[in-house]
Amino acid sequence: MNIAAAPLGPFETNAYLLSSDDGKECIVIDAPQGAAAKLLPLIKDRGLKLTHLLLTHGHWDHMCEAHAFAAAGAEVLAHRADRELIENIEAYKNRYLAMLPELSDADFKSVKVTTWLEDGSTFIAAGKAFETRHVPGHCPGSLLFSCASEQVAFCGDAIFRGSVGRTDLPNGNWNELLTSIRTRIYTLPNETVLYPGHGGRTTVGHEKQTNPYAKP
C-alpha cells in the first residue's frame, strides 16, 4: 500500500491518499479544503478507482470537501456520534465563520454517510484489512483506522507527534481523550506508525516514551 500525505486548508489538515499495491484502487482519509482539487485529478491521472472516503471525525477542516469525493463515487465511512456535524454542516456555519470569516457558503456542503462504523468495525479497502477504533475526546465521533499488515494507523486529531488533540472545542473531553489514547492507541504495537490529522508521522512507541501530555 502506498501512502501520500497532503497538508491542506487553513489549518494544514492532512488528507491521505492510499493506493493498493496493484495500482488499481485507492481510498482517501479526510477531506480538508483543497483536497478535491489536489487529489481527484491525481486519482484520475493514475487510473485509480476511488472506493472509500474515511472520516476520522466531523470537524469542518477534516470533512468540508467530503461531498466532492462522494460525488466521485467514494463510499463515505464515519462514526455515528458525529452524524450531525457531517450530515448537517450548514447548522455549524456561523461557528466556523467566526474563526474563518473568509469562508463562503460554498465551503459548507453536507454529505450523506454510506456506512456508520463502530469500535471494532472491520473492512477491506485498497486491498488491505482495516480495523476501526473509537477514540473520543477531541470529538465524540473520533476514529482511528488501523491497518495491522502495514503497521500503520490513521489517528485524526486524537494524538500528534509530541502533543494531543484539543478538548476545549464543543463536546471535547480531556479525561475521555486520555482514556482513548491509553486504551485504544497505546495498546497498538510500539512499531505502529501513526499518521495524524496535522503534522508529521510518529510511532506508538515514540509517543509512549516522549509525549508530555499523554503518559502511558
C-alpha distances out from residue 55 to 82, 111, 138, 204, Å? 10, 11, 14, 21
Q: d(Cα 204, Cα 208) in Å, to the nearest integer?
A: 6
In a domain, 196, yes or no: yes
Please determine, for residue 105, whether its predicted confidence score (pLDDT) is greater than 90. no
* CA 190 centroid distance within chain: 21
Domain count, the chain: 1
Which pLDDT tens digit goes with each residue over 182-194? 999 999 999 999 9
CB neighbours (10 Å) of residue 204? 22
Whether 34 is covered by a domain: the verdict is yes
Check: pTM over 0.95? Answer yes or no: yes
Residue 77 lies in a domain: yes
Q: Rounded distance, CA 56 to CA 156, Å?
A: 5
Query: Could you report the per-residue pLDDT of 28-54, keeping only the tens digit for each?
Result: 999 999 999 999 999 999 999 999 999
Asked, for residue 12, whether it belongs to a domain, the answer is: yes
- Within a domain: 216: no
Q: Does the residue 173 lie in any domain?
A: yes
**3-state SS of 70-116?**
HHCCCEEEEEHHHHHHHHCHHHHHHHHHHHCCCCCHHHCCCCCCCEE
Query: In which domain, by residue range, is 79 found?
Result: 2-210
Indicate which CATH number applies to the domain containing 129.
3.60.15.10
Distance (Å, whole) CA 137 – CA 167: 7
Look at residue 190 and tell me if it is in a domain.
yes
